[in-house]
Amino acid sequence: MNNLKKPIRSFLDLDVYQGAYKASIIVLNKIIPKLPKEERFDLADQLRRSAKAVPRLIAEGYSKRHQKRGFQALLDDAMEESNETIVSLSHVKDAYRIEIELCEELIDIYDKASRQLYNLSFAWMNFKERRYTKPKTIYDT
């Protein structure tokens, strides 16, 4: 099995983006339409916004990857939206008993995305520090 990862040339190559985008499409097409009418302007709206926000924030953050604070802030925002989506999907599953197994799968996907975003944020911070740290020379003593 080939363990080599392909190079990241755009946000589209990020595993976390791909998972979040696919999950958002499932939420939009298979979960939200089944919510009761009384939730159309509350839970449905919140779930729609948070599910769509995760991949959008990853894409926006990637465009600011050269800015340590800008990238970090957008990854944090994406993680917040991912966690918010988990709570909304839990409400769908527990309060309305809609697509229970699918909601559990989506909750797992968003939980994984939140962990990936945290790890990406941490790894990027360390990468940027290593990359831009001036190497020590004999004159730095």
Range of the domain at 59: 27-128
Whether 72 is covered by a domain: the verdict is yes
Residue 86's pLDDT band, with cuts at 50, 70 and 90, is: very high
Q: What is the pTM of this model?
A: 0.84
pLDDT at 122: 81
Whether 13 is covered by a domain: the verdict is no
Q: Give me the number of domains the chain comprises.
A: 1
What CA–CA distance (Å, rounded) separates 72 from 97? 36
CB-based burial label for 46 (10 Å; 0-12, 13-18, 19+): middle
Residue 86 sits in a domain whose CATH number is 1.20.1440.60
What CA–CA distance (Å, rounded) separates 67 from 135? 21
Whether 81 is covered by a domain: the verdict is yes
| Structure confidence by residue, pLDDT tens digits, 61-76 | 999 988 878 888 999 9
Instruction: Please state, in angstroms and as integers, the Cα–Cα distance from residue 40 to each residue in 28, 57, 68, 94, 138, following that order.
Output: 13, 24, 38, 17, 67
| Structure confidence by residue, pLDDT tens digits, 11-47 | 999 999 999 999 999 999 999 999 999 998 899 999 9
Whether 90 is covered by a domain: the verdict is yes
For the chain, what is the mean pLDDT? Answer: 89
